[in-house]
Amino acid sequence: MSAPPPPSLDLRRLRVVASLGRGAKGIVFLVDTGAETLALKAISRSSIEKKSILSSGSCDAGYRRIWFERDVLSALDHPLLPKLRGSISTDRIVGFAMDFCSGGDLSSLRRRQKTFSDDVIRFYAAELVLALDHLHKQGIVYRDLKPDNVMIQANGHLMLVDFDLSTRLSSKPPSKKKNHKKPPPKQRRLFLARLLCNNNSNNISPSDPDPDLEGSGKSNSFVGTEDYVAPEIIKADGHDFSVDWWSLGVVLYEMVYGRTPFRG
By annotation, the residues acting in catalysis are 144
Dihedral sign of CA atoms 161, 167, 168, 171 in order:
negative
CB crowding 25-62: b at 16 or more within 10 Å, else e: bbbbbbbebeeebbbbbbbebeebeebbeeeeeeeebb
How far is it, in rounded angstroms, from Cα 196 to Cα 226? Answer: 9
Tell me the C-alpha distance between 215 and 246, whole Å. Answer: 21
CB 53 within 8 A of CB 59: yes
Cβ-contact 222, 183 below 8 angstroms:
yes
Give the CA angle between residues 207, 209, 214 to the nearest 5°. Answer: 145
SS3 94: strand
Question: Cα(67)–Cα(4) distance, rounded to whole angstroms?
Answer: 13
CA distance 238 to 136: 17
CA-angle at 164, arms to 104 and 143, nearest 5°:
90
Q: Are 188 and 233 in contact (CB under 8 A)?
A: no
Cα 142 from Cα 145, distance rounded (Å): 7
